[in-house]
Structure 1
């Protein structure tokens, strides 16, 4: 069994030492969705949400979240991000999909930054629309692709089982 890297010799949590890792370009792409009443999505499109432009605010929130990841997730390293881009698409009925691409040139990856950007953008949509639709569901948040680093290229395959491999 592979040695766990997030534990010290006293079996307590530690931040992994990345001192000797090589600086490489790294990119992460994450996605997720929020399901809402069709009327809610229509009001977003028409700009009729009292708190303002929902997707513009959610986009900024996602970018801000990516930049604050190490302050929120205890074992994440402070990473100088070189790019964060948030996109929204919807199905024209009731689902908004958020995709975040995060980039760096550093010694560790940006998967958590991408995932946090997506979650925060979707939570912002929820917050801005909750007065008219408290039944919204955030789901299917996952890493789509990771490029760079020692572990190589990862592409999500929803056909593969995600059971623990002990």
Structure 2
């Protein structure tokens, strides 16, 4: 299988997001500032600061720059679900998890992938894809959500 745009189904190649990078750096910096004024022992503060720096770098690599081997770099909708292309070249078949978040400037897609216990998250900010793709993605997700509700309630 390969990823390509066909049959009018959605295809998204993800770009790095400056807004998401700014949010991650801001929130981690605020937490670090809170630690520096805490009355805890210095070695505990230092340990927590190192852990926060690691968390910040991991989130930036995985969700912003998408340079981690298991980062999702392309998404394609298929008639039977979704295909996800990871940075390391792995192609995964996935189904959309029920707790996907759709907002005006932020979409968090959670995918069920066979063989994985937890959903695979894909964070998409408005600056990571073009506006037309974001609008189309929101419409597709809204329609798929409406169809699931209609099939649940006769």
| TM-score when normalising by structure 2 | 0.26
Q: Of the two structures, which has the highest relative contact order with CA contacts closer than 8 Å and spacing of 6 or more?
A: 1
Whichever structure has more helix as a proportion of its residues is 2
